[in-house]
Chains A and B, each alone.
Chain A
Amino acid sequence: DAEITQSPRHKITETGRQVTLACHQTWNHNNMFWYRQDLGHGLRLIHYSYGVHDTNKGEVSDGYSVSRSNTEDLPLTLESAASSQTSVYFCASSRDRVAEAFFGQGTRLTVV
């Protein structure tokens, strides 16, 4: 079955370290997204991509970057982790504008 997977599921890192969260989907979807979920803020869009080599900033992109070298993967990199980036991160993908997005199980990141 096609799916979207995130790794790791849990990570603890130190302030200032570079961290990369992986997202892999097997639906061959063009659109991929990264969100973070925080209490009182809901789901906020970090970065998104409409296809290979396309990346766009979302609502809260500062301190984050993404790259899209193939259809299946959209890794999210925290250049220099900060305590404010402690959150649960969700990756999602969708086929096109009329289709709903499918979410991964999430990665809980703690920056100490």
Chain B
Amino acid sequence: DQQVKQNSPSLSVQEGRISILNCDYTNSMFDYFLWYKKYPAEGPTFLISISSIKDKNEDGRFTVFLNKSAKHLSLHIVPSQPGDSAVYFCGENRDDKIIFGKGTRLHILP
């Protein structure tokens, strides 16, 4: 049973608008959620994280929101830029290992 679900395989957003990527999880016990960004032919790179005791974490254009009652988190990118076109993975860090979702491919349209 998948622990971390990213139900949207792809998302297209106009440049300058807000991109919202979503992630659902099943386990209630976790330490952190992390978001990673991946370009083709490169390894994933860390983007932003949120601990289980917080509702929101912000870093520049990137904000992650955690809704524990709904077991849902989202990544907001504002404003979206062409370089944001990539695959985004949501990951649950529990017991020092990260379990990832299937990823969402984000296309930023000119």
Where the two chains meet, the residues of A that have a C-beta atom closer than 8 Å to any C-beta of B are 31, 33, 35, 40-45, 48, 50, 56, 58-59, 90, 92, 94, 96-98, 100-106
User: Which B residues are CB-close (under 8 A) to A105?
Assistant: 41-43
A48 (CB) vs chain B CBs: closest residue: B97
Q: Is the CB of B100 within 8 A of A103?
A: no
Distance between Cα atoms of A61 and B37 in the complex (Å): 25
B90 (CB) vs chain A CBs: closest residue: A42
Where the two chains meet, the residues of B that have a C-beta atom closer than 8 Å to any C-beta of A are 6, 31-32, 34, 36, 41-46, 49, 89, 91, 93, 95-103
B42's partner among A41, A101, A106 (CB-CB below 8 A) is: A106
Chain B facing A: main interface SS: strand
Distance between Cα atoms of A12 and B46 in the complex (Å): 29
Most B-side CB within 10 Å, residue of A45, A92, A96, A100: A100
User: Which B residues are CB-close (under 8 A) to A42?
Assistant: 6, 89, 100-103
A56 (CB) vs chain B CBs: closest residue: B97
